[in-house]
A and B are shown apart, each in its own frame.
Chain A
Amino acid sequence: ETGVTQSPTHLIKTRGQQVTLRCSSQSGHNTVSWYQQALGQGPQFIFQYYREEENGRGNFPPRFSGLQFPNYSSELNVNALELDDSALYLCASSFVGPSDEQYFGPGTRLTVT
């Protein structure tokens, strides 16, 4: 196991609602990346946080937002949920620096009905 934890494991929400997903990084890691993985597809980069600042963003709308806390844990917030937001949300922690491997958490399975 990687030491990266995520909560909750599963979540069911209704279209239009808001959701917050949480991630605790592996000890000593200062960078957290969030990915969305739709069924049968590869993970899609949402954004990355380094030392509590957003450090890059993928092609996701502003209703996807995040936070990183001083202890390097992180939150992903999604407002105005849409059916297409149903996916596995993965966070991955790493050390900052070029090309460091990502340690993925188990993910949160979000279902939007």
Chain B
Amino acid sequence: GQQVMQIPQYQHVQEGEDFTTYCNSSTTLSNIQWYKQRPGGHPVFLIQLVKSGEVKKQKRLTFQFGEAKKNSSLHITATQTTDVGTYFCAGPEGGGATNKLIFGTGTLLAVQP
């Protein structure tokens, strides 16, 4: 079945260091979404990417969608303690235009002050 994998599973950084998580889908995706889940919280939507090769920025966060629309990345510049949480990518079930999401395995980010 369709799989969405993320690496690394866990990353521990010092505050101020950069962080990147990578997302790979077994199927081509019409779009990819990114969510952040704080410890004990629920997933919160960050962004959606639709176009091949698309790059979007939100302050210190940079999101990229691969040319083949099967992979994506999230890069955080100069991490802060508020960035702590698990970052999930999610793609539509079957890869097509649907909002039934298949979530990635997640990357847990720990930031040491």
Residue ranges of A at the interface with B (Cβ–Cβ < 8 Å): 2, 31, 33, 35, 41-45, 48, 56, 58-59, 90, 92, 94, 96-107
Contacts and interface: CB of A to CB of B under 8 A. Distances in A.
Interface of B: 1, 4, 30-31, 33, 35, 41-45, 48, 50, 88, 90, 92-93, 97-106
A94 B104 CA distance: 20
A97 B30 CA distance: 13
B104 A102 contact: no
Given A99-B50, A104-B43, A104-B44, A45 B30 contact: no
Nearest to A4: B42
A50 to B, nearest CB: 10
A79 B99 CA distance: 26
Interface centre among B44, B88, B93, B101 (most CB of A within 10 A): B101
Nearest to A43: B103
A33 B99 contact: yes
Given A99-B31, A104-B44, A42 B98 contact: no
Contacts of B41: 106
30 contacts: A2-B44, A33-B100, A33-B101, A41-B105, A41-B106, A42-B106, A43-B88, A43-B101, A44-B103, A45-B93, A45-B100, A45-B102, A45-B103, A48-B100, A56-B98, A56-B100, A58-B93, A58-B100, A59-B1, A90-B42, A98-B98, A99-B31, A99-B48, A99-B97, A101-B33, A102-B33, A104-B42, A104-B44, A105-B42, A106-B42
